[in-house]
Chain A
Amino acid sequence: MSDPIKTDVLIIGAGPVGLFAVFQLGLLDIKAHLVDILDKVGGQCAELYPEKPIYDIPAVPLITGQGLSDALMQQIKPFNPTFHLGEMVTTIENIGDPLFRVTTDRGKVFEANAVVIAAGGGSFQPKRPPINGIEPYENTSVFYAVRKMETFRDKKLLIVGGGDSALDWTLNLQPIAKRLTLLHRRDDFRGAPDSVNKMRALVAAGAMDLRIGQVTELEGADGQLTGATIKGGDGALTRVETDAMLPFFGLTMKLGPVADWGFELKDELIPVDVSTFETSRPGLFAIGDINTYPGKLKLILSGFHEAALMAQKAHHYVHPSKRLVFQYTTSSTSLQKKLGVS
């Protein structure tokens, strides 16, 4: 375990609400680190609808998901937050009054005076194919991500999918695999044209196999895969020998570890106090789509409001001896200094 990273506040989730929380906390001299399971900031805005227009942000008649995310990044720049992307928070432990020790699936450890859960719909995780009996093979023979390429050296690999993840890993793993088969439901790939061309050249040279169809059955024992049955476009069933399968079907939102953090969830949402957006655990806040309270609306603007109120209470934990004076950015020179505009 590495040395803990100390921060005033740890924010779980770098979607629009997590990002705006950095701004509200920053105005109150509270520093933040953010952890997000995606490899980019923006949450659902960036992952699910980067190009889609949003019409209900106050005073912004139209902005795309990516545009909103970019604008928030610009707005919080003066506060210089630190991002930990591609990591998922797994545990939140109370070690003080309040002081939290937070760990991620990559073994990172944080110590924070307050924790803000801005996790939206939970965490984006790979979609699992609906193949009977796939569970016993997961993480031993079926992998949804490549952590170490060496795991796949001299193995017979079956990569499934038609996007960039499937193609990139096909090209990266083909040289070290014993034999690689790429399986896709149609003979048309949405990945980068250059990757598609490289893959097709390897197939033409006989260096790998391309199959069109879908996996219907797995065979093997004790978590070790030996083969898979493929149903072709014509309905014919064939078998392919494989030691490992890597399915790439995109991401879906799952509640994830939030369920294990000691809250009494209501319909998979965290109940909060509406004056502070604090949960039943003092010092632990929940803002945005992940929380619930009477009248809750899952709107970005609600999350922004919740971030502002959360920051007032978080100040109490981070700077207990400092008096909090309410100020406006339009008139306060002290706030303007923090924003770098004075």
Chain B
Amino acid sequence: MPRITFIEHDGTEHTVDADTGATVMEAALRNGISSIVAECGGGCTCATCLVHVDDAWSAAVGPPSAEEEEMLDSAFEVKPTSRLSCQIKVTESLDGLVVRTPSYQGR
């Protein structure tokens, strides 16, 4: 089972098990990571599940789709490695993934 590490704004780290085929957002919610809000529940319509993918993992995760890129316009402090975690599908090749969560998801 792939493991994902979420590093919160204050440096707190959580390493969690994630189901392949689920999304990084779902892994966060199931493990009570409150800096992922996911207001729309994974519909790519609210931009409240923003993560900054660790530089070492950015290529493996890949870039956002056009739809996601548009939704990133409604997020704050967006960086080139920023993604909406509801749009990242967990695969075996993402075992060890590290993402950082922002201090504020818009609410």
Flag whether A190 is at the interface (Cβ < 8 A). Answer: yes
Q: Are B43 and A49 in contact (CB under 8 A)?
A: yes
Task: Tell me which of A204-212, A250-258, A331-339 binds B.
Answer: A250-258
What residues of B have a CB within 8 angstroms of the CB of A121 in the complex? 39
Q: Are A162 and B106 in contact (CB under 8 A)?
A: no
Whether A48 contacts B107 in the complex (CB less than 8 A), given A130-B76, A161-B73, A162-B73, comes out as no
Q: Which residue of B lies closest to A122 (CB)?
A: B107
Q: Is A292 an interface residue (CB 8 A)?
A: no
Verify if A152 is at the interface (C-beta below 8 Å from B). Answer: no
In contact, B43 and A52 (Cβ under 8 angstroms): yes
- CB-defined contacts of B107 to chain A, threshold 8 Å: 127, 252-254
Give complex CA distance A197, B107 in Å: 32
Cβ of A78 under 8 Å from chain B? no
Which residues of chain A from 104 to 155 have a CB within 8 Å of any chain B CB? 121, 127-130
Residue in B closest to A50 when the chains form the complex, CB atoms = B45
Per a CB cutoff under 8 Å, which of B39, B73, B77, B78 touches A252? B39
Residues on the B chain within 8 Å of A128, using CB: 106
Q: Specify which chain A residues have a CB less than 8 angstroms from the CB of B48 in the assembled complex.
A: 252
Indicate if B46 sits at the interface (CB-CB under 8 A).
yes
CB proximity of B104 to chain A, nearest CB, Å: 4
The listed residue (B45, B77, B103, B106) touching A127 by CB distance below 8 A is: B106
Residue among B45, B72, B77 having the largest count of chain A Cβ atoms under 10 Å: B45
B55 is an interface residue with CB less than 8 A from chain A:
no
Interface membership of A184, Cβ < 8 A: yes
CB-CB under 8 A for A190 and B70, given A130-B103, A130-B104: yes
**Residues of chain A contacted by B41 (CB below 8 angstroms):** 48-49
- B47 contacts A by Cβ under 8 Å: yes
Complex alpha-carbon distance, A49 and B69, angstroms: 17
A214 within 8 A of B: yes
- Inter-chain CA distance A127–B74, complex, in Å, is 8
- Which residue among A44, A52, A127, A161 has the maximum number of chain B CB atoms within 10 Å of its CB? A127
Are A130 and B77 closer than 8 Å at their CB atoms?
Answer: yes
Q: Using a Cβ–Cβ cut-off of 8 Å, how many residues does chain B contribute to the interface with A?
A: 21
**Tally of contact residues, A, Cβ under 8 A:** 24
Complex Cα spacing A186 to B80, Å: 11
Asked if A185 is at the interface (CB within 8 A of a chain B CB), the reply is yes
B83 to chain A, nearest CB (A): 14
Flag whether A317 is at the interface (Cβ < 8 A): no
Q: A68 CB to closest chain B CB, in angstroms?
A: 14
Whole-angstrom distance between the alpha carbons of A253 and B48 in the complex? 11
Query: Which chain B residues in 62-98 approach chain A with CB under 8 Å?
Result: 69-70, 72-78
Instruction: Please tell me if B1 contacts chain A, counting CB pairs below 8 Å.
Output: no
* A49–B46 CA distance with the chains assembled, in angstroms: 9
B40 at the interface (CB under 8 A from A): yes
Query: What is the CB-to-nearest-CB distance from A160 to chain B, in angstroms, rounded to a whole number?
Result: 10
Q: Chain A 179-216 against B: per-residue CB contact (8 Å), 1 yes, 0 no?
A: 00000111010100000000000000000000000100
A interface list, Cβ under 8 A from B: 44, 47-49, 52, 121, 127-130, 161-163, 184-186, 188, 190, 214, 249-250, 252-254
Residues of B that sit less than 8 Å from A by CB = 39-41, 43, 45-48, 69-70, 72-78, 103-104, 106-107
11 residue pairs of the A-B complex, CB under 8 angstroms, read A44-B40, A47-B45, A48-B43, A49-B43, A121-B39, A127-B107, A162-B73, A214-B78, A249-B73, A249-B74, A250-B106
**With A49-B40, A254-B107 already in contact, 15 other A-B pairs whose C-beta atoms are closer than 8 Å:** A48-B39, A48-B40, A49-B43, A52-B45, A127-B76, A130-B77, A162-B73, A185-B72, A185-B73, A186-B73, A214-B76, A214-B78, A249-B75, A250-B106, A253-B107
The 7 closest A-B pairs by CB, nearest first: A250-B74, A127-B106, A190-B70, A252-B107, A48-B40, A49-B43, A130-B104
